[in-house]
Structure 1
Amino acid sequence: MTFKTIFASAAVAAIATGAFAASHSESGNPMVGGAAMFADKNIVENAVNSADHTTLVAAVQAAGLVETLSGPGPFTVFAPTNAAFGKLAAGTVDTLLLPENKDQLTKILTCHVVAADAMSGAIAGMIADDGGEHDVPTVGGCVLKAKMSGEMITLTDERGRTATVTIADVKQSNGVIHVIDTVLLPTM
């Protein structure tokens, strides 16, 4: 399925969201970016509906990861919001979206993906079992440090940048999304 097809399907789904709001609220999945997130849709199908993740969706498309993140998984995606991308230095996102920077963009994005279906309770349990900090190896080869800050899970990247999970446990047909407030960066 192409990104345009997924995007068109998502647009139809977004229009229909109002009709499905009641059944969605019964599923227990949180709303993200003003949109219902459906557990029977994959990561890409849901992400394209979130008004808070348009930059992430554009980046996934530019990196050629749409097909991968639409696949069977399971995946845990730590999904930075548009505001998170806005914290990067001016011009960084535009530069990363250029075709000649595809490898660097892919590395950054895959450092937000874990090849497992890790709900927040499981992550919190691993943090507790490991004495307050748990190493999270990503598909991109980065190792994130997961900790608890009160009731919130935080992730620290290899550069010392810390992201907080602001919306946890958004179930997908091929894994789970945890919304984060900072872009995590690998060492380059």
Structure 2
Amino acid sequence: MKLNKSLVAVLLMAFVVAFSSCEDTKKKDQIKLEEQEAEMAKAESDAKEAEMQEAQANEEKMKEEARTNSIAGKAMASRDLDTLVIALKAAGLADMLLAEGDYTVFAPTDFAFSELKKGTLEDLIKPENKEMLVSVLQYHVVAGKMRSEDLGKAIDAGNGKAELTTVKGDKLTIMRDGDQIVIKDGKGKKAQIVLGNIDASNGVIHEVSKVLMSK
């Protein structure tokens, strides 16, 4: 049986329309899928960025807390160590006492600096005398954390006195004077610990009554 040409044309047209409709649906589905994938990728990227920013913020917070709780940070917060902080900055040693590590610092108080011969401190903090200032300040720092009880144990183990090696490489001698622990410098001058065991994230501070000199 022969199909009418008009019927064939109608059927062909219907097929074309159906095929086109199907293709349009596929294209729309593909576009929708691509949009969803793009949204998911953006959401994932945004989540990673937020996570990274949070990690960076936490890292900065930890660093700030470490700086605040460091030896330098504790010294800056003390009302008795302003002169020492000025000296540390002039010597470029503040960063060392902000960094990670374990140090014991015998920190001269403002009063201790005031007892130096007139003009001594002013001369020390001059740029041309930086090397000398560094040497003086390093003489107050010992590697390793030694709280008062540790100093006492070292004195007892040494039958009444013990030597400590400073980061400068020179020696300090610690001993007892009654109930007090005192530090004797290279000139034979003795300084008392007026406030001990100021714990920091990178060591401990003992405020002392004298500025120590190696020679």
**Cα distance, 1:51 vs. partner?**
1.6
Distance 2:199 2:74 in 1: 10
Aligned residues: percent identity? 37
Match of 2:103 among 43, 50, 75: 75
Q: State the partner residue of 1:55.
A: 83
Q: Which runs of 5+ in 2 are unaligned?
A: 1-64
Matches within 5 A, 1:137-152: 137-152=165-180
SS state of the match for residue 81, structure 2? helix
**Cα distance, 1:151 vs. partner?**
1.5
**TM-score between both structures, scaled by the size of structure 2:** 0.68
- 1:154 and 2:168 correspond: no
**Cα distance, 1:152 vs. partner?**
1.1
**Cα distance, 1:105 vs. partner?**
0.4
Q: State the partner residue of 2:162.
A: 134
Matches within 5 A, 1:101-120: 101-120=129-148
Match of 2:192 among 164, 177, 180: 164
Q: RMSD in angstroms over aligned alpha carbons?
A: 1.5
Higher RCO structure (Cα 8 Å, ≥6 apart): 1
Distance 1:98 1:152 in 2: 35
Q: State the partner residue of 1:21.
A: none
- 1:180 and 2:208 correspond: yes
Deviations 1:135-166 (A, max 9, x none): 01100122011001111110000011110001
Output the amino acid matched with 1:173.
Answer: S
Q: State the partner residue of 1:16.
A: none
Distance 2:169 2:181 in 1: 21
**Cα distance, 1:100 vs. partner?**
0.5
Q: State the partner residue of 2:94.
A: 66
Q: State the partner residue of 1:95.
A: 123
Flag the structure with higher helix content: 2
Distance 1:168 1:66 in 2: 20
Stretches of 4+ moved more than 4 A in 1? none
**Cα distance, 1:52 vs. partner?**
1.0
- 1:41 and 2:76 correspond: no
